[in-house]
């Protein structure tokens, strides 16, 4: 069971990960809290996440995702951005001129990934 202070998050692969305060492979934890880590697949697809989730034109943005190698396009609500794939899970970019508040999209050889949260462009 999840209890107060336990973690549950969704990775950019679409999988949920969490921890429990009970269970696991040991009967006794010798004074420590027992528990286990788990992953839960519920059929949600992969996405990208912009960090931060808001910024002004020209400010740096990191885009987290899965399998970003070979990305051919990054857009902020339809406005193209100059970008660099720095690892299979990270793209570095800046908020492009003319961008407006909306979803961030990354086109990769495997398809287009859309942000789970809209990016807010600060005037």
Domain ranges of the chain: 1-45, 49-121
What is the CATH architecture of 49-121?
Sandwich (2.60)
pLDDT of the residue at 9: 85
C-alpha–C-alpha distance, residues 94 and 61, integer Å = 5
Work out the pLDDT band at 6, boundaries 50, 70, 90: low
Contact 113, 50 (CB under 8 A): no
Beta strands in 1-123 (DSSP E): 8-10, 16-19, 37-40, 49-51, 54-55, 60-64, 73-76, 79-80, 83-87, 90-94, 104-108, 111-114, 120-121
Q: pLDDT tens digits, residue range 57-79?
A: 999 999 999 999 999 999 999 99
Q: What is the pLDDT of residue 33?
A: 60
Cα–Cα distance measured from residue 56 to residue 122, given in angstroms and rounded to the nearest whole number: 5
Closest CA to 13 of 52, 72, 68, 60: 68
């Amino acid at each position: 069971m999840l209890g107060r202070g336990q973690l549950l998050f969704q990775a950019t692969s679409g999988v949920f990960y969490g921890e429990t305060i009970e269970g696991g492979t040991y009967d006794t934890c010798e004074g420590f809290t027992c528990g286990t880590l788990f992953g839960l697949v519920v059929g949600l697809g992969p996405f990208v996440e912009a960090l931060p989730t808001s910024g002004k034109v020209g400010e740096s943005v990191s885009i987290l995702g899965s399998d970003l190698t070979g990305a051919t396009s990054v857009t902020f609500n339809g406005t193209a951005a100059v970008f660099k794939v720095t690892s299979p899970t990270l793209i570095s970019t800046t908020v492009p001129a003319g961008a407006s508040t909306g979803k961030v999209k990354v086109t990769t050889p495997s398809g287009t990934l859309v942000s789970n949260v809209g990016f807010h462009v600060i005037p």
